[in-house]
Structures are given as structure tokens and as C-alpha cells.
Amino acid sequence: MMLFKLAFKNIKKSVSDYAIYFFTLVLGVAIFYVFNAIDSQTAMMKVSESTRDIIDLMLNMLSGVSVFVSFVLGFLIIYASRFLMKRRNKEFGIYMTLGMSKGKISKILVVETFLIGLLSLVVGLLLGCALSQVMSVIVANMFEADLTEFTFVISTEAIVKTIIYFGIMYLLVMIFNTISVSRCKLIDLINANKKTETVKLKNPYLCIVIFIIAVVILGYSYYSVTIGVDNLLRETWQIFLIIGLGALGTFLLFFSLSGLVLRVLQHFKKFYYKGLNSFTIKQFSSKINTTVFSMTVICLMLFVTICVFSSCMSMKNAMTANLKELAPVDIELAKTRDIPREFMEEYGYSEQQVNNSYQSIEDDLNSVGFDVNNYYKDIVSINTYTTDELTVRDTLGSAYNEVYKKYPFMTYDAVEEIVTISDYNKAAKVLGLDTYSLDDDEYLVIADYDNMVSVRNMALKASATITISGKTYYPKYDKCMDGFLEISNSHVNDGIFIVPDDAVSNLTVEKEYLYANYKADTDEGKQEIEDLLLSKSDALENIESTLGASTRLSIYEGSVGLGALVTFIGLYLGVIFLISSAAILALKELSEATENKERFKMLRKIGADEKLINKALFRQIAIFFLAPLVVAIIHSIFGIIFCNYILETFGNESLLLAIVLTAVFLVVIYGGYLLITYYCSKRIIKE
């Protein structure tokens, strides 16, 4: 009972000192609960079956991410406990001086950890239950669900999962604290506040060598994810190698800079001896043993946060923005046409498929009892063609060698898709695209996939000619025109050749496209038409038709669902990483402020006023907060370029907005932690 009272008294006494620790625990519990309670929140939403499937996928992914998040939070709690233990070294020394055994001290810590854990769990779950209701509205808004039957829901499953995960974390903290106390020595505890960690890297030449190595490693990593990205993507293991090199380079960078900062700044005597700069710089250097590792970890976490936030928000915004442009009609039907009989053995087509391929899309639908004229309007049908005479290699002309050096793994023997100018203009009108005209010896290329656009442009600028049925055609423009034939939510058209009508007179039809809008005006009516067409899928299979369909509704639902999925996972990881990074730094600085009280007392005794002392304190804290952030921002510039390259099919129109939102998020949370740490530290050094 006495130990319980002592533990409770210690917690009560330390509440104000460790408000950030407790706040971070509560926030961690709340966020963990909120994202694991989405399942129960989505249960009462009215959504379509396809949207429900996407939500289920998102929930499964969030469940997997939660396991990873639990490791991050566990690391945060154990790492924080290390600094909180240091805060109380002198207190433990007094206990041992008065005759208290290490076992009893361990019991006090176990009780304290249990009480803090229990309190943070209760408060965090209460906050999480409240926030989860807000999250349900956000989920419903992102999936455009019906919330007319919204009710306050508490997820028992999420509560149990949160208690189990955090219970394990607190148990590990108890074990860690017990081991730490068992290794303590009385003399170290009593004199802990007077000890300063020594700078191990005293040789500046060794620091310079390590700095150069770090710059070379990071430079190679930056090059690999930008200029050399095509080579990087050939093998998956190379991506992991670059990630490892980036982490190693970051560690070596901080390792070398920590040893060089003091040496370099001492040469700038006017700056070094101005105010309390020498005190601040030495304080930074004296913490090298803990600074290097923690700054590396925090820098990498901030780097992941910035990249994940920016990329996920950019992808979601771009997908939403693309819908109007890339899915302008209600439905697009496509069918493989005129399959040669010699393809039966080579590609595994059946005789019925071959026979069916000579029927039009309308014929197929009519044969299964679906009259397009009853349900569709603005109907446009076009054909595309291919020929072995026109491969990617044939279209590059003199630019082939240059393109091959840059893209050696591209498939150069793939045949190109050809459309007549009259067919393309018919499709362009219904798709809301520009129409064109051609002379009888001209061609143009439409494309919107950035990588292939650059390849096509290299050929067009070199005035590459193409030959079809023995006739030569010249490019009308020296660059690709923007356009597409297949509706989607992303820019995937890698190039279609538009030629005069008579150029295809000897070619076989490769594919037929049919575009149309529904005669129904409401979403419900449109859905009924889609459901009716879907009900004919078995009948179409029976006649072995190769008919496929893409609809604006399905593309929209898929885009909204995928956008929500990446946003939630990005938000989940980003918030956890950002809070963990800021909390680790904040707890470390508060611990050091406690240790440095005597040093700040000495500054007062030698005549330093409070304004100067507060300025030195703020600079010291700002260095620790800004150093990993600055390096993380530099990493992120190249990381975002790499992510944008991977996700370029979705477009980068919203990238700037995503970066601005990420910056605001960083300023609010990270900057908030910095300011709170400063004011708490200022109060501690005045005690």
C-alpha cells in the first residue's frame, strides 16, 4: 500500500512535467482506436456492392497497417521511458541512499507504469470513441454513402484490440524499467545531472571523411530515384538497396555533422562568442551519443511522413479531378474484332470466338436481348487497326538509338494501334476532345501517358515517317496531341496513330469501340441500365463474345474507393510517424532541460539575463527539432519525384496542393510540439 501511495504521489507530482508524454499516449490510443473502429462505423452505411468490396479491402489493409503502427508506438513508448527514467535518476539515488532496495524501486515503477497506462487507455479510448463518430462522417463523405441511419457506435472489437496491443506495450515498458533499475549504480544516479556525454568523434579529419562518404551515398541514392529511375525499377531488390543506402547515408551524415559542428563553428569566433552561442553549441555537441541515432530515426520517419502525405493526397485529388476529363461518357463498350483463324492455335481462341469476332457490338447485344437504342443515346461506334508493318521500332525512325539508350527494356516489337481520322473525330466529339484534319500523306499521334509522350515526341521531332501498305506518311505535328480512346480514371494512353481514311483499306479491324450515354437522367436509372447489361453477361459468355465494358459509374466508384483507401492509410501512417517523431524529440528535450537546470543556474550567476537564457534555450530546442526536419525535406524532394514517377498515370496536377497541405500539417503538429516543448522546458529551468 505504501508503494502504491508513493507511486501515485510521484505521478501527481510529475503530471505537469510529463504532459507531452501523457498527451502522446492518449493521442496514440485514440488514433489506434479510430482507425480500427472504421469497420463498425461503415456497417450502417448505404453503399453499393462494389464500394462495400473496396471498404472491406481498406479495412483489411488498415488491420495489417495497425500491426506495423503498434511496433512504432511500442518503440515510442519504450524510447520515451528511457528519457523519463533519466529525469528521475537523482530521485532513485535518494531512495537507495535511504535504504530502499532496487526491487522496491522497480515495483514503484511497475505501479506507476500501470497507472499511467490505465489512465491513458481510458482517456484515449474516450477520445477515440468521440473522434470515431467524426471519422464515420469523413468515411461516408469520401465514399458518398447514405448516413440517414447514422447512430452513435462504439466498437467493442476495436476497444479489445487497442487494450491488447497497448497492454503488451506497457508490459514491455515495465520489463524495460525493471532491467534499467537493476543495472543502476548509486554513484551514477546521484551524479547523473552533473555528467555530460563526451563527444567521441574528436578527430575532425575522420569526421570529414565520414561526411564525404555520407554525401556520396546520398548523392547516389538521389540519382537512382530520379535520373536513374528506369534502371532502378528493373529489379525490386534494387529499390530496397537504395532505401538501405539512404538510411545509412542519413546516419553517417548526422554522425559526421555532430562531430564537425563544434569544430567548424569555433572558427567563426564572432558568431561563436556572441551571446550564449558557445553554450548552445556545446550543449548540442555534448549529446552526440543519443542525438545521432535518434535524429536518424526521426529524420527517416519525417521523410516517410512527408512523402506518404504528399503522394497519397496528390493521387486522390488527381483521380477525382481526372474523372470529368477521362470518363466523359456513361459507357464504353470494346470488343476484339476479326480474329484470323491462324490465331486459334497460337493464342488459344475457340472457333466460336473467331466466328463471333466478325459480329459487331450491337449484333452481340441484340442477340442476347439488349437493344442499345432502347437504353442508349449519342451512340458512336469506331474501329481500330493494327499491322505487323507498324511496330514501336518502326515509328521511331532515327530517334531509335537515342530512345533505346534511355529505355532499353521497352517492348519495341509491339504493334501500334491505328485509327482513321474520321473515326477519331467521331469519338473525339462525344469524348469532348479536339478534332483534327490530315492531308493524304500525314499522320498524328495522340497520347497522354507522360513517359511515352516523351518517347513519341523524340521521334516526331526527328520527323520520323511511317509506312502502311507501302505508302509513306509524315508527321503533321512535332509532338503528341493530348487524347485517348478508352475511358478511365488515369492517363494510360501510350500512343494511338491517326491516319487518313484510305490508309487502312488493306488492314484488318483489330478492335471496335462503342460510346454512348444513358437515356436515364438519374443515378438510380443509370444503375438499373448497368444492372440490366450485367445480367446479360452469362448469355454473352455462352456465345463466347469478347465484349467488355467500362462505365462512368464503376470508374467513379473505383476512383473514390481507391482514393479513400490510399488517403486513410497515408493519413494513419503519417499521423503516427509525425506524432512519434515530435514526441521523441519533445521528451528528450524535456529530460535534458531537467538535467540542465544547474547549468542554467550557473548562467544566471555569471550575469546572463532571462531573455538571453530563454533565447539560448529556444535555439537549442530548435536545432534538435529542425535538424532532422531539414534533412527529411531534402530527402523528400527526391522521394516525391520518385513517387510522382510511379504514380504519374494519375497525373500530377494536384501535387502542389498536396505539398502545401502537408506543409501546413507539419507546421501545426511538429511546430506545435516544438513550442510546447520550449514553454515546458522554460518552466523547468526556472524551478
Q: How is 249-282 classified by DSSP, letter by letter? A: HHHHHHHHHHHHHHHHHHT-HHHHTSTTHHHHHH
What sign does the dihedral 466-468-474-475 (CA atoms) show?
negative
Which residues, 6+ apart, have CB-to-CB distance to 253 below 8 Å? 211, 214, 215, 218, 631
Question: How does strand 548-551 pair with strand 471-475?
Answer: unpaired
Nearest-angstrom CA–CA distance, 119 and 168: 15
The residue written with cell numbers 458518398 in the block is 144
The residue written with cell numbers 479495412 in the block is 59
Nearest-angstrom CA–CA distance, 471 and 562: 46
The confidence score (pLDDT) of residue 307 equals 84
How far is Cα of residue 394 from the mean position of the Cα atoms in its chain?
39
Q: The C-alpha cell of 118 is what?
A: 490505465
Residue 518, strand partner residues: 376
Q: The C-alpha cell of 75 is what?
A: 518503440
Q: The C-alpha cell of 80 is what?
A: 520515451
What's the pTM value of the predicted model, to 2 decimals? 0.68
Q: How big is the chain by its Cα radius of gyration, in Å? A: 33
The answer to whether the CB of 339 falls within 8 A of the CB of 345 is: no
- How much helix, strand and coil, in percent to the nearest 5, is found in the chain? 70, 10, 25
Question: How does strand 471-475 pair with strand 442-446?
Answer: parallel
List average pLDDT for each run of 10 residues in the chain, which is 687 residues long: 63 62 79 77 57 69 74 72 65 69 72 76 85 71 58 77 82 75 61 51 73 91 80 69 89 79 63 65 63 82 84 68 78 88 74 86 88 88 91 90 81 90 93 91 90 89 90 92 86 90 88 91 83 86 86 78 73 80 80 71 73 79 85 89 69 67 83 84 74
> Quick one: DSSP state of residue 505?
T
The answer to whether the CB of 181 falls within 8 A of the CB of 241 is: no
Using DSSP, state whether 513 is helix, strand or coil: strand
CA distances from 148 to 54, 145, 359 (A): 21, 9, 47
The helix (run of H) or strand (run of E) holding residue 512 is: strand 509-518
- 132: amino acid identity, one letter: S
Cα dihedral: 596, 600, 601, 604 (round 10): 180
Backbone angles phi, psi at 384, to 5 degrees: -120, 160
**Beta carbons within 10 angstroms of residue 311's beta carbon:** 23
- 276: amino acid identity, one letter: L
The answer to whether the CB of 575 falls within 8 A of the CB of 238 is: no
Q: The C-alpha cell of 253 is what?
A: 551524415
The answer to whether the CB of 189 falls within 8 A of the CB of 280 is: no
**Beta carbons within 10 angstroms of residue 256's beta carbon:** 23
The confidence score (pLDDT) of residue 201 equals 46
CA distances from 169 to 25, 113, 172 (A): 11, 11, 5
The answer to whether the CB of 670 falls within 8 A of the CB of 629 is: yes
Question: How does strand 496-499 pair with strand 471-475?
Answer: unpaired
The answer to whether the CB of 165 falls within 8 A of the CB of 576 is: no
The confidence score (pLDDT) of residue 198 equals 47
CA distances from 634 to 250, 251, 314, 666 (A): 11, 15, 19, 15
For the chain, how many residues are written? 687
Using DSSP, state whether 533 is helix, strand or coil: helix
Which residues, 6+ apart, have CB-to-CB distance to 438 below 8 Å? 421, 444, 476, 498, 499, 500
Which class for 412: exposed (0-12), middle (13-18), buried (19 or more C-beta within 10 A)?
middle
- 171: amino acid identity, one letter: L
The confidence score (pLDDT) of residue 480 equals 92
Nearest-angstrom CA–CA distance, 360 and 354: 13
CA-wise closest residue to 407 among 235, 231, 242, 222: 231
Which class for 632: exposed (0-12), middle (13-18), buried (19 or more C-beta within 10 A)?
buried
Q: What does the angle CA 271 – CA 275 – CA 278 come to, to the nearest 5 degrees?
A: 60
The answer to whether the CB of 34 falls within 8 A of the CB of 135 is: yes
Nearest-angstrom CA–CA distance, 129 and 529: 41
CA distances from 281 to 263, 274, 287, 415, 617 (A): 10, 11, 10, 65, 11
Which residues, 6+ apart, have CB-to-CB distance to 201 below 8 Å? 207, 210, 255, 256, 258, 259, 288
CA distances from 168 to 61, 75, 114, 581, 663 (A): 22, 12, 11, 21, 34
Q: The C-alpha cell of 384 is what?
A: 481500330
In DSSP notation, 316-358 reads: HHHHHHHHHHH--SSEEEEEE----TTHHHHH---HHHHHHTT
Which class for 116: exposed (0-12), middle (13-18), buried (19 or more C-beta within 10 A)?
buried
- 346: amino acid identity, one letter: E
Backbone angles phi, psi at 147, to 5 degrees: -105, 25
- Would you tell me the crossing angle of helices 655-685 and 597-605 to the nearest 10 degrees? 70
The confidence score (pLDDT) of residue 197 equals 46
